[in-house]
A and B are shown apart, each in its own frame.
Chain A
Amino acid sequence: MVKNVDIAIAILLLIPLIALLAIPTYNHVNPTLAGISFFYWYQLLWMPLSAILFFIAAILWNRKEEKEERGASKSTRRNARKGRR
């Protein structure tokens, strides 16, 4: 089952990929930054931006897994009790 949190994680992971695949959108010399052409500094900018997006995705994902693990251990305990009865 696909939940909202799964969609959020997928979007967070895919944004940098889509931005970097769209080469014609950033393949320009201008505007330059400290003499560096746009082509370079735009891609450098995506490094910290991606780290932020990925880190949020990692937290969401880890939290989701923790919840699932707790849920799973609860339901196995429940099943074990049922089995005994």
Chain B
Amino acid sequence: MINSISITVFVALFAVFVFLGFYGSKWRKGNLKQLKEWGMAGGRIGTAVGWFLLGADIYTAYTFIAVPSSLYAKGSIYFFAAPYVIITYAFAMWLMPKFWKIANKNGHLTVADFVRSIFNSRLLAVSVAIVGIVAELPYIALQIVGMQAVLITLLSGIGALNFIIEISLIISFIILAAFTWTSGLRGAALGSILKDVLILLTVIIVVLAVVVLGGFHSAFLTAPSTISYFKLPSSLYNAYWSLFVLSALALYLYPHVINGTLAQSDPKKVRKTASLLPLYSLGLGFLAMFGFMIYGVPAALKYVHQFPASVQGTQVVPGLIVTLLPSWLSGAALLGIFIGGLVPAAIMAIAAANLFTRNIAKEIKPKMTPAGETRTAQVFAVIFKFLALGFVFIIPATFAIQLQLFGGILILQILPAFVFGVITNRMNRRALFLGLVVGIFLGVYMMVAANHYATWTTTLIATGIGPVFIGMLALLANIAVVVVGSLIAKAFNVSNGLKASMKY
């Protein structure tokens, strides 16, 4: 139930969270006027906080709102998120410690710094920076949708539904902008610990409640048979694995994840942290199952059905919370979900702003002072959030997962430059640039075509082997261009202009 008690608990815990954010700016104090301090916590983050900070990359509105929502709307295919958050850590363990070492020896703070010095190409570095920033925008939009969903739940009693949906979006945005401006990455890291504690508690209690009520058995009986909820239709096998494998490859390419990795203090810790994170993914697995579990809880289903289809899915998890938990606890749980969107959105905006400042603004204006850099990053963190808002209007909230998947299609296109950069420097920089451009254009084109030039509700495209994830096709085209281009360049002895000064 939502009543004054739940709202009071929500507000009180939010006050604690804000306090942590401000306290965070003083925690292990550094000069916040320096970009590395505001944006990377000075690179002094150890295993425990690093675990929470990187765990926060998974425990976002993607997990709380988007995955359960799409599972509810479309069925078992969206459980691909579970194998995704296992496999991604194998990829991370393989690549990230080596990347950390190269970045550390050469003083790289961003993926674009790294690409620029590996391939000695300003063009490639700026392109990678632009793709990194743009790919973060739909992912930030997804977080705003998550925050909005919680406010809709909290406010749903007080007025006309459409008005509440809009006002919730505006409030979410203002809180996000104010929070990022003041606290930087340190505040976000401390806040994410509170968030994770609240969420894990909620997941455990709701799952136990559903099991005790016999909800899984009745969900099994009452779920509509028009949607495949309990196993995968065999026509979607290729969709399933292409979604989870490519999502796994995409996660560690996002600027905010790279930022979180480099903010850790030691490459061995990077590897150990990644190896244990699949355990953390259990929470995602259970939250995803809330998408069909709701059929076992008639009160929650009734609650969800009062909303229009465009936002209905986002109310699945909040709906189960408010119908199964006592008011004070649902207030706490909803706050967990709210800051579960807020903290990651801040982390993503900070990373995008870092990237913009170091790799685009400084190219234009090389003599910026350190204080000027931080100010530029702070201002652009806000601007990027405004741009992100644009994506909220392209994709109906129920299909918010498509925001993250579209971000994935974009960010996957920097994979050749990143992976070939870490494991070999034999690829040609012009071929890498051309591949990136081909991948981006093909990806966006297929996205628009697969959705028939209307609002975006899918990232799958029909092929001869059934629907597959667009990100995979775009990446394959990209890699083909890179490999063929590099072979041609080699055959004609085109110099790739590599610097001899790189330290491996």
Query: CB within 8 Å of B: which residues of A?
Result: 13-14, 16-17, 20-21, 23-24, 27-29, 32, 34-40, 43-44, 46-48, 50-51, 54-55, 57-59, 61-62, 65-66
Check if B94 is an interface residue, CB within 8 A of chain A. Answer: yes
CA of A40 to CA of B230, assembled, Å:
8
Q: How far is the CB of A49 from chain B (nearest CB, A)?
A: 8
**Cross-chain contact A27 with B231 (CB below 8 angstroms):** yes
Q: Answer yes or no: B232 CB below 8 A from chain A CBs.
A: yes
Question: In the docked arrangement, what's the CA distance between A17 and B248, Å?
Answer: 11
Pairs A–B under 8 Å by Cβ, sample size 5: A21-B245, A34-B216, A35-B217, A48-B278, A51-B279
Find out whether the CB atom of A40 lies under 8 angstroms from the CB atom of B289: yes
**Stretch in contact with the other chain, from B75-83, B407-415, B491-499:** B75-83
Whether B114 is near chain A, meaning CB under 8 Å from some CB there, is no
Mask, B278-301, CB within 8 Å of A = 1, is: 110110011001000000000000
In the assembly, what is the distance between CA of A28 and CA of B89, in Å? 26
Contacts of A35 in B (CB 8 A): 211, 214-217, 219-220
How near does chain A come to B71, taking the closest CB pair, in angstroms? 10
Please, how many angstroms separate the alpha-carbon atoms of A37 and B75 in the complex? 13
Is A61 within 8 A of B93, CB to CB? Answer: yes
Separation of A51 and B83 alpha carbons in the complex (Å): 13
Contact B268–A65 (Cβ < 8 Å):
yes
Chain B interface size range: 35 or more
- B241-259 to A contact mask, C-beta < 8 Å, 1/0: 1001100000000000000
Residues of A within 8 A of B274 (CB): 54, 58
Within 8 A of A (CB), among B266-282: 268, 271-272, 274-279, 281-282
How far is A27 from B211 in the complex, measured between Cα atoms in Å? Answer: 23
Q: Which 9 A-B pairs have the closest CB atoms?
A: A35-B216, A54-B275, A58-B275, A35-B217, A37-B230, A51-B279, A20-B83, A51-B278, A50-B278
Query: What residue in chain B is nearest A43 (Cβ atoms)?
Result: B82
Q: Which residue of A lies closest to B84 (CB)?
A: A20
A5: min CB distance to chain B, Å: 14
Closest to A20 in B: B83
Q: B90 near A: Cβ within 8 Å?
A: yes
Most chain-A CB neighbours within 10 Å: which of B85, B87, B231, B276? B231
